[in-house]
Amino acid sequence: MFKEIFTWWQGATIGARHQIGRGSKCVGEDEMGNRYFETVDKRYDYDGHNRRFVIYKGYADASKVSPDWHGWLHHTFDEPPSREPLTRRVWEKDHHPNLTGTVWAWRPKGSIARGGDRAKASGDYQPWTPD
């Protein structure tokens, strides 16, 4: 309970869930389990637009939002992707969240996270010593 009041990085706080639940309706869910909401109460409108929210499943990270839902959140599209899906081109790749800073991040050979050992190269830095 204490964690839900003060932490925002594990989904949404109790206050955010209360505000979203009170004046918003759920418009859809993406393949990662994130849920998307839009206000129905005009008191929460922003700049002439209904406010739109996302409640992340698990760790809150904006890179977990796919391009089609990102466009809807930023009022690029009027209809949510659950009603009017974005057309995919043959050359487009699937969306993946940014894994930097996680245990699944890519760590090349020689990186500090993998032990820092790599083969010597001709362009390696040689520090100056006052001999």
pLDDT digits (tens, 9 = 90+) for 33-75: 999 998 887 766 777 788 888 888 877 888 889 888 999 999 8
**Residue 68 belongs to some domain of the structure:** yes
**Residue 63 belongs to some domain of the structure:** yes
**Residue 35 belongs to some domain of the structure:** yes
Query: What is the count of structural domains for the chain?
Result: 1
Which is higher by pLDDT, 98 or 22? 98
**Residue 114 belongs to some domain of the structure:** no
Residue 12 has pLDDT above 80, yes or no: no
Q: What is the pLDDT of residue 57?
A: 86
Domain that holds residue 21: 2-86
Closest CA to 26 of 97, 92, 78, 80: 80
pTM exceeds 0.75, yes or no = no
**Residue 28 belongs to some domain of the structure:** yes
Which is higher by pLDDT, 49 or 3? 49
| Residues 34, 56: Cα–Cα separation, whole Å | 5
Q: What is the pLDDT of residue 58?
A: 79
Q: What is the pLDDT of residue 18?
A: 67
Output helix, strand, coil percentages for the chain, rounded to the nearest 5: 25, 15, 65
First to last CA, the chain: 64
Radius of gyration of the chain measured on its C-alpha atoms? 22
